[in-house]
Amino acid sequence: MSTYIFLKNVNLMKDLCKKYIFIVGCLLLFGCQQNVKVTKISADIFFNEPEKSSFHISPDGKFLSYLKPFQGKLNLYIQSIDKNETLQITSYQDQGIKYYFWVGNNRLFYVKDKDDNDNYQAFAVNSNGKSIKKFNTSPKTRIEVIDEMKANDNFILIAMNERVPESFDVYQLNVKTGEKVMIIKNPGNIVEWISDNNGNVKLAIGSDGVNETLYFRESTQVEFKPIISNNFKNSLQPLCFTEEKNHIYALSNLGRDKMALVDFDCSLAKETRLIYENPQADVMDVVYSKSKKKLVYLTYEISKRETHFFDDKAKEMYDNISTQLPNQELKIIDKDKLEDNFLIKTYTDKDPGAYYLYKVTDKSLVKLSDVNKGIDPSNMCPMQAISYKSRDGITIHGYLTLPLGKNKKDLPCVIMPHAGPSTRNLWGYSSEVQYLANKGYAVFQMNFRGSTGYGKAFQTAGFKQWGKKMQDDITDGVNWLIKEKIADPERIGIYGYRFGGYAALNQVIYHPELYKCAVSYSGFINLFNYLKSFPAYYKPYQQMLNEMIGNPESDADYLKYASPIFQSDKIKVPILIAQGAKDPSVNVNEMNQFVKELRKRQISVNYILKDNENHNFRDQKNKMEFYKQLGIFLDKNLNATK
């Protein structure tokens, strides 16, 4: 990411000042579109892989790099900015590249999938495609990058659990020779290592499963010492070191509900300055410039993503780009070392966006690639921020996307709980949402309690509520749609991935009268086995997971009630299930038995089982098959053309 540090991603709240005007706004916004001719678009176009993605720029600003499909797998390409010449660097056909970055001006480090079980393999290669180096690691070793060390062309800092599966040690890796040297041995409780601006690891975060402890050392010559401990419900997240000795920038909700940007003195073990907070939302992204040695901007989201600038020149550049690309949301995704060239990504709720190269010297923009050139934004549907009250009085925020060309009352509706629970929905383009809206469905996404971005109280309100109040929040949203006459009560379905799929199954178990069908894509069905499924390096978090989800011993009755596999006899509606046989979170034998029990009771089940897939389908053919079957299944059960 060049000399910018993109620090954290903490989700945010909605704009409370707009929460009561949704219905009027929707009628004004969409009422004139009833006679709009809608162009139907196939799943192949909506879910087509991007022609190019994951753009980066070399530190000297001479080359662009990106990932592009080759024989169905993502491979690495290099493009000269001045000569516009392109070179394919890798040609993998077994597994694609997961992520990569530049190490100096002439070499790149990348990680690719080793197999279908989330095991990775690391490599480095010259920008001319030569001198490729594979870094040998033991089977099932996971690699995490601590510091890209932009000031050094030969080394990066990584953490690996090669010695013991439960712990990540710190290594200095020579990207030219492949030699790795352990420089810090994990004592067993450290879950995160953090380096300063010179590549020295001076911070560590330890966990005993319930409490987190921040460890600090003034130099690499002394031992780490604990400076502050917090229950995991409270958070101090180090971002980077400031230019003041022993000070760091951090996101903190200590003594407050929302995540705020603060200056924290490690030697005094206390917050010394509140830099920025928003009373309605958590701070999301924070960007720091190593070259300028200053904060550049941060973002937060209420109804849409908002940016707060610390640097006037960055604000001026942002405004200039906005003038050239009006009505577009902008993200700076990379820059060169001298800050002469920036990579920009655009998007809206109706436009998947594009990548641009911005040259500071002449303020010019060069379009590099569309995210999906098959999408015409004029055929897409606006995403509207909404809110409603839960049965116990909590405000639940979300988004509603209504189809074009229809009366905006009594619509067929697809409920889409997000994949979290510790994530949230955001405003912006979604292929899934637009695909369903284009087919004629109102698409409803809610951020039920437990979602991140709304502060500490809102998130912890979801603890041990997977099968209770979180489900109530979803149900209350469906009833709100019916009350406002947006949804036709006879044509409501529910679809989700991961937790969303789990919620879809629980919704038709608890409230079969509300739904005509349900779709679960890699949805959890047995919380007992889900809690056991985490890899060894999650062991320090086990007590925390028990407190957030449920303790298999003391909460056994609740976990059984909240697990769909024990409630299959209550399902009355058609079900579509998509599942990878190698998914560690969902035991495939249990899923097979779950489907068998449903079919034994004459419940219609469309079961898509892929032997070569994990939790998330990666093979493009498998993904396309699923989305086509999703469309057919919903059309059959919800009659969108009525």
In this structure, are residues 76 and 352 in contact, taking their beta carbons and an 8 Å threshold? no
Which amino acid, one-letter code, is at 608? I
Residues above pLDDT 90, as percent of the chain: 83
Average pLDDT for 444-456? 96
The model's pTM is 0.92
Whether 29 has a pLDDT exceeding 90, the answer reads no
* Boundary residue ending a domain (274, 308, 340): 274
546/401 same-domain check: yes
Asked, for residue 337, whether it belongs to a domain, the answer is: no
The Cα–Cα gap between 357 and 338 comes to: 15
In this structure, are residues 187 and 199 in contact, taking their beta carbons and an 8 Å threshold? no
* Boundary residue ending a domain (241, 274, 307): 274
CA distances, 277 to each of 11, 18, 186, 327 (Å): 14, 20, 34, 26
**What pLDDT digit, counting tens, does each position of 568-597 carry?**
999 999 999 999 999 999 999 999 999 999
pLDDT of residue 35: 56
Q: Treating both helix axes as pointing N-terminal to C-terminal, what angle do 499-510 and 469-483 enclose, rounded to 10 degrees? A: 70
Q: In 3-state terms, what secondary structure has residue 308? A: strand
Asked, for residue 135, whether it belongs to a domain, the answer is: no
Whether 53 has a pLDDT exceeding 90, the answer reads yes
* Boundary residue ending a domain (251, 274, 297): 274
pLDDT of residue 406: 74
pLDDT of residue 120: 80
456/603 same-domain check: yes
The answer for residues whose C-beta is within 8 angstroms of residue 17's C-beta and 6 or more apart is none
pLDDT of residue 18: 39
Range of the domain at 602: 383-638
252/397 same-domain check: no
Asked, for residue 370, whether it belongs to a domain, the answer is: no
Average pLDDT for 438-457? 96
Whether 118 has a pLDDT exceeding 70, the answer reads no
On average, the pLDDT of the chain sits at 91
pLDDT of residue 616: 92
Asked, for residue 393, whether it belongs to a domain, the answer is: yes
Asked, for residue 79, whether it belongs to a domain, the answer is: no
**What pLDDT digit, counting tens, does each position of 510-558 carry?**
999 999 999 999 999 999 999 999 888 888 888 899 999 999 999 999 9
In this structure, are residues 488 and 406 in contact, taking their beta carbons and an 8 Å threshold? no
pLDDT band at 14 (very low <50, low <70, confident <90, very high): very low
pLDDT of residue 25: 44
Asked, for residue 411, whether it belongs to a domain, the answer is: yes
Q: Sheet containing 180-184: which strands, arranged edge to edge? A: 143-147, 155-164, 167-174, 180-184
Q: What is the CATH number of the domain that holds 446?
A: 3.40.50.1820
Whether 130 has a pLDDT exceeding 60, the answer reads yes
The answer for residues whose C-beta is within 8 angstroms of residue 497's C-beta and 6 or more apart is 419, 521, 522, 523, 616
In this structure, are residues 62 and 102 in contact, taking their beta carbons and an 8 Å threshold? no
- Count how many residues are written for the chain: 642
pLDDT band at 506 (very low <50, low <70, confident <90, very high): very high
478/616 same-domain check: yes
Asked, for residue 371, whether it belongs to a domain, the answer is: no
Asked, for residue 489, whether it belongs to a domain, the answer is: yes
**What pLDDT digit, counting tens, does each position of 135-183 carry?**
988 888 889 999 998 777 889 999 999 999 999 999 999 999 989 999 9
The Cα–Cα gap between 194 and 236 comes to: 13
The answer for residues whose C-beta is within 8 angstroms of residue 574's C-beta and 6 or more apart is 516, 517, 518, 603, 604, 605, 606, 633, 636, 637
**What pLDDT digit, counting tens, does each position of 394-415 carry?**
999 999 999 998 788 999 999 9
Number of domains in the chain: 2
In this structure, are residues 65 and 88 in contact, taking their beta carbons and an 8 Å threshold? no
Which amino acid, one-letter code, is at 229? S
Residue whose C-alpha is closest to residue 147's, from 202, 224, 188: 202
